[in-house]
Structure 1
């Protein structure tokens, strides 16, 4: 059964925050975003804003630049940007400084997993940040349970199905507690139960406090209640 969780819209988030005495600002805001491939202008976006604790789908035809836009938002690929603000603060460097990179996580359509174990993969990014080994082990176990892969913790990822790999990748991203999570076609090439299991995790990420942007063609994901829509068309970004 597909998830029916209603995700908060940005206006609902601001209203709830205002009731607590603090109005939330946009998480990420860009002005004058342009990306070129040689002489070709892939996209020219006047304005793009992502609210805190909100979910977005990014659609468009193949080749429109969806994956490239996600990588630019994640600081993984250079672009021309007139101005960029994160949590209300101006960012003058792109690719991003380290502190901002740690707040944003990008998950590839075909996530790269190390040939070790599921547990090692889930905890890899956390281990790079350092900390007490016992605490990290507890967090890894909790993340695997959240993603439904705890029973696979000692398994070589090469033996996993496509859906299991995606859930491992989501657990690896979630454990870092990103402020912004960028997912590139997370349900592509998944069928049946595997697809539904991945779909169920995405609203859960928003409920836990992350903002999520998903590039996809999946109609069930696009039509989830409360999800905002971006569409890349002819180099421009339409907001729906």
Structure 2
């Protein structure tokens, strides 16, 4: 596997509290990782740093073997790295309009077709004309995943995608994760969901005392 993103010497502090002191992060192309750790260990903060939503000190950053930076956060990273919040915000309008939002910002072609394919992938085509703000938690999470996937990110960062979901809604979200790497994206998922952690070919990263440990691949 080729390396997609490599970050060395990543440090993050809040006042006198040193939250992260990570020697190295290596994210390979088309690979899925689950990021675990105690509450407050900095998992969500790390995702926000990787997506350019939060600042941090770094010694070296390489993206596709080319030197880059997180500050300022370059446009090519903003296009290629997409972050999905644990509680995704639905924009005013229909599900279809939500899915197409990023494509319209990028002035993409065949927007309606791409949005329809993304909705089919997420199993929400039947909701295309529904007000996105009035969906269930599981439906909103699948809209958020489709809204991210339609942009064809090289790296997708998911923060607790199955939190507060149960039953069929949770199973539907978990089933979508492997299809993302099959489509060529790398995925980093913050979660405590044992079933998601145990997905085949899922590599485990654990945050402990500000350090990042690579665990064995889940069976």
> Per-residue deviation at 1:114?
1.0
Shift, 1:94, TM fit? 2.1
Taking structure 2 as the reference length, the TM-score comes to 0.96
1:171 counterpart (123, 146, 152):
146
Q: Secondary structure at the match of 1:102?
A: helix
The answer for the alignment partner of 2:84 in structure 1 is 107
Count of residue pairs brought into register by the alignment:
215
**CA distance in structure 2 between the partners assigned to 1:215 and 1:123 by the alignment:** 26
Structure 2 CA distance, aligned partners of 1:111 and 1:64? Answer: 22
Deviation at 1:109, TM superposition (A): 0.2
**Matched-pair contact (CA < 8 Å) for 2:99–2:147:** yes
Residue number among 30, 49, 60 corresponding to 1:83 in the alignment? 60
Please point out which of 96, 99, 113 is paired with 1:122.
99
Q: Which residue of 2 aligns with 1:49?
A: 26
Instruction: Provide, for residues 106-147 of structure 1, a one-character-per-residue CA deviation record: whole Å limited to 9, x for no partner.
Output: 000000111211001011011100033xx1111011111111
Structure-2 residue corresponding to 1:207: 182
Residues 157-191 of structure 1: CA deviation (Å, up to 9, x unaligned): 22211000000000000000000000000000000
- Deviation, 1:95, is 4.0
**Unmatched segments (≥5 aa) in structure 2:** none
Task: Identify the residue that residue 130 of structure 2 maps to in structure 1.
Answer: 155
Q: What aligned pairs does 1:24-103 form with structure 2 within 5 A after superposition?
A: 25-103=2-80
Q: Secondary structure at the match of 2:30?
A: coil
Counterparts of 2:41 and 2:23, CA distance in 1: 16
Larger displacement relative to structure 2 (150-159 or 101-110): 150-159
Q: CA deviation at 1:74?
A: 1.0
C-alpha displacement at 1:93, in angstroms? 4.4
- Taking structure 1 as the reference length, what is the TM-score of the superposition? 0.88
Any gaps of 5 or more consecutive residues in structure 1?
1-13, 15-24
Q: Does the 8 Å CA contact 1:117/1:156 hold for their aligned counterparts? A: yes
